[in-house]
Amino acid sequence: MLLLQQAASVACYGGLMVISSLPPTLSPQPLSWRKKTPKIKMKSGQCIMRRALIISELELKPPPYSLNSLEPHLSRETLELHWGSHHRAHVARLNSLIAGTDLDGMGLDDIVIATYNKGSPRAPFVHAAEVWNHDFFWQSIKPNGGGQPSGKLMELIERDFGSFSRMLKEFENAALTQFGSGWVWLAYKANKLDVGNAVNPCPSEKDNKLIVLKSPNAVNPFVWDYSPLLCIDVWEHAYYLDYENRRDEYVAVFLEKLVSWEVVSHRLDIAIKRAADRAREDEKDS
Ligand SMILES: [Fe+2]
């Protein structure tokens, strides 16, 4: 792993030190945001300082809101534990595992695909995928979220699930039946599965449609070349401080009060465009 000894911008979030100055990505397949070198900058009134640090290329991205702004639905304590401890630990562990390997210098999404290894994951996979999933999760929610989607997203939900309430029911049911730790996703299943090591878990499903699916541990539908649009973390660390073992309450609050349907809609636009671009490329090649 390339380590850079240089001055970096360091921000404080809820008393936690964060090395990051990059904007959050909303893409269902984030590009290599981590390859950028942090810029040195000073902002008055903010907890940003210059100091000499040894940093790796992989950075812990903060949620795009303050750690107490999801209260009362998710407490500051939960975010400090979840993001400040669990998410942070995955970034650190990933950095140490890929240092000096063939994965060193690759983008996060490429590391996830490479280490998934056709369903026989290499050691860094769980950490790479958990970093990817958590980045995506934090961006999927917002203060004063919830409500209903509109436009193309609502149109496809009604087409593929029958109604918005039926989609919510399916999502909720998946979250409550994911045994042990894992994730639940709303994803766009595109027309092709041409990732080199993709193993399609739903080969009989029709393409170009929305699906709800659950995945164990760190796995996400990105490895099957689906385009994730929304995810909920159902590992206990995501909700235990606030809801103890009442996962059903956590899932209900997530859907009713936290989901950013604007972000989900934006991701859908990208996913549809990506599928259309691929279809055009395939036509050209044929
Ligand atoms: Fe988590």
Residues 6+ away with beta carbon under 8 Å from 180: 216, 217
- The Å distance, Cα 36 to ligand 1 centre, comes to 25
- The Å distance, Cα 270 to ligand 1 centre, comes to 25
Q: How far apart are CA 122 and CA 127, in angstroms?
A: 10
Query: At 226, is the pLDDT very low, low, confident or very high (cuts 50, 70, 90)?
Result: confident
Question: Residues spanned by CATH 1.10.287.990 within the chain?
Answer: 3-140
177: pLDDT strictly greater than 50: yes
Q: What is the DSSP letter of 147?
A: S
Instruction: Report the SS3 class of residue 153.
Output: helix
Question: Residues spanned by CATH 3.55.40.20 within the chain?
Answer: 151-285
- The Å distance, Cα 62 to ligand 1 centre, comes to 14
Chain segment 91-149, per-residue pLDDT in tens? 999 999 999 999 998 999 999 999 998 888 999 999 999 999 999 999 999 999 999 99
CATH code of domain 151-285: 3.55.40.20
- CB contact at 8 A, 20 and 138: no
- The Å distance, Cα 98 to ligand 1 centre, comes to 21
31: pLDDT strictly greater than 50: no
Least confident of 45-49, 82-86, 227-231: 45-49
Q: How far apart are CA 214 and CA 224, in angstroms?
A: 13
Structure-token pair, residue 181: 């730790």
- The Å distance, Cα 87 to ligand 1 centre, comes to 7
Query: At 14, is the pLDDT very low, low, confident or very high (cuts 50, 70, 90)?
Result: very low
Q: Is 3-140 a domain of CATH 3.40.50.1220?
A: no
Other beta carbons less than 10 A from residue 19's beta carbon: 18
pLDDT of residue 48: 32
Q: Which residues surround ligand 1, an ion (CB under 5 A)?
A: 233, 235, 238
The pTM assigned to this predicted structure is 0.79
Chain segment 32-58, per-residue pLDDT in tens? 333 333 333 333 333 333 333 333 468
Q: How far apart are CA 231 and CA 269, in angstroms?
A: 17
Measured at the alpha carbon of residue 214, what is the angle toward residues 129 and 260, in degrees to the nearest 5?
75
- CB contact at 8 A, 190 and 281: no
- The Å distance, Cα 256 to ligand 1 centre, comes to 20
